Amino acid sequence: MARIHTITLNPAIDRILYLDKYRPEVTNRLKDSTDGLGGKGTHVSINLSQMGVPSEALGIAYGENGRKIIELLSQDLIDVNFQYFPEQESRVNYLIIEDDGKCTCLSSKGIQLSDSDIDSFIEFIAPGIGTGDYLVFSGDASNCPDPYVYNKIMRAFEARDLKVFMDASGDTLKKCIEEHPYLIKPNQDELSYLCGRELHTLEDIKEGIKSLEPYDIPVIAVSLGNEGSLVYADGTFYRVISPEVNVNNTIGCGDCFLAGLIEGIYRGRSIEDTLAHAAAVSSACAESVLSVGFDAGRAEELIKDVEIIKL
Ligand SMILES: Nc1ncnc2c1ncn2[C@@H]1O[C@H](COP(=O)(O)OP(=O)(O)OP(=O)(O)O)[C@@H](O)[C@H]1O
Ligand SMILES: [Mg+2]
């Protein structure tokens, strides 16, 4: 059986600050605050674990924050293999969540990784990656100045015939499609950037996906927030309409949607079933106040409300 490996080159502590309403230029009093795990790859591992799917979380962590990141990530179905350095500190991000569900993220840069840091990371992860395994890149590795950083990792494992799942944006996404990932999950803005023009309507998005044909990507799942998604899978387009939910926090819906897609493919579900599950878990994630995870019972309930139209 293939193993799933998630990669988080810039993990973080997400410090979540709860406010009734955020007001600039005055003292804001916090209602509550809590520390969670940041870095999209780690979120994919946690979402997969909630779906009963094991994964290996790979990454790089530093100092006390890094220790805390590893501790927050450690649970039964997650095999945590982080390169750990006691000196320096992994970053802290700040997430402001207001009573009406509005979220603002203040993202820190994180420790910059050099070419030789990436070479050493590749050497560190290589023994655990088998032929035909799944490799999940989530987030932009904003701490790596080189937009080809994911290409470098993909190329290092070219001979192992991996299934690569890519949730990146900007130039990182633009470059990495040259390596033929198995699946990409851009949102509307990310797809627009990738295609070099604003894509507004569903028809625009479909055209945008078609323009990526030369890159030979079997699955292109374009997530559209509360509008659901438009997914191209093995030659067919699917319009997925998400159920209407009481939104509390949409940060992390993309990671949850991606985890749902990976789960379906890993378990060999049909494409329709995979899309219905992914839409249900990610809309349950929008209902949750947390930025990672979802209520499994609620997701189960929501599946019947997902509409899938073959285009
Ligand atoms: N308000 C919502 N109501 C229902 N479902 C939602 C809502 N927002 C997001 N989703 C679900 O989550 C999926 C992914 O969301 P979205 O398109 O916002 O991802 P994203 O922009 O990558 O988010 P992020 O990167 O912040 O995690 C959507 O395709 C949809 O299924
Ligand atoms: Mg996203």
Q: pLDDT of 9-52, one tens digit each?
A: 999 999 999 999 999 999 999 999 999 999 999 999 999 999 99
Domains along the sequence of the chain with CATH: 4-310 (3.40.1190.20)
- Residue 236: per-residue pLDDT: 97
Does residue 228 have a pLDDT over 80?
yes
**What pLDDT band is residue 224 in, cutting at 50, 70 and 90?**
very high
Neighbouring residues of 86: CB distance < 8 A, sequence distance ≥ 6: 62, 63
| Ligand 1 atom 1 nearest Cα | 226
CA distance 58 to 98: 32
Confidence grade of residue 121 (pLDDT, cut at 50, 70, 90): very high
Q: Largest Cα–Cα distance of the chain, in whole Å? A: 57
87 alpha carbon – ligand 2 mean position (Å): 30
Separation of CA 213 and ligand 1 centre (Å): 25
Q: Is the CB of 251 under 6 A from ligand 1?
A: yes
- C-beta 247 within 6 A of ligand 1: yes
Question: Would the pTM of this model clear 0.85, i.e. be above it?
Answer: yes
Per-residue pLDDT, 267: 97
Q: Which residue from 47, 250, 292 has its CB within 8 A of the most atoms of ligand 1, so it is best to mutate?
A: 250
CA–centroid distance, residue 302 to ligand 1 (Å): 15
Structure-token match 């590795």, residue found: 141
Closest ligand 1 atom, residue 186 Cα: 22
**CB-neighbour burial class of residue 57 (10 A; exposed 0-12, middle 13-18, buried 19+):** buried
User: Per DSSP, which regions of the chain are E strands?
Assistant: 4-8, 12-19, 32-38, 55-62, 78-85, 91-98, 103-106, 134-138, 163-167, 183-184, 219-223, 229-233, 236-241, 307-310
Q: What pLDDT was estimated at residue 54?
A: 98
Q: How many whole angstroms from 107 Cα to the centroid of ligand 2? A: 14
Q: Where residue 169 falls among pLDDT bands split at 50, 70, 90?
A: very high
What is the phi/psi pair of residue 295, to 5°? -90, 115
Proportion of the chain above pLDDT 70, given as a percent: 100
pLDDT tops 90 at residue 165: yes
The SS3 call for residue 46 is helix
pLDDT of 97 reads 87
Report which protein residue has its CA nearest ligand 1's atom 23.
254
Q: Is 288 in the pocket of ligand 1 (CB under 6 A)?
A: no
Query: Given CA atoms 304, 306, 307, 311 in this order, what sign does their dihedral have?
Result: negative
Ligand number nearest CA of 167 is 2
For a ligand 1 pocket test, name from 102, 184, 223, 261 the mutation site with the most ligand atoms within 8 angstroms of its C-beta. Answer: 223
C-beta of 286 in contact with ligand 1 (< 6 A): yes
Q: Ligand 2 mean position to 167 CA, how many Å?
A: 7
Indicate the DSSP class of residue 249.
Answer: -
Given a cut of 80, whether residue 291 has pLDDT beyond it is no
Read off the pLDDT band of 195 (50, 70, 90): very high
Residue range 143-147: average pLDDT? Answer: 89
Residue with tokens 């599950």: 277
Average pLDDT across the chain, whole number: 95
CB distance 283 to ligand 1 below 6 Å: yes
Residue nearest to atom 26 of ligand 1 (CA): 251
CB of 282 within 6 A of ligand 1: the answer is: yes
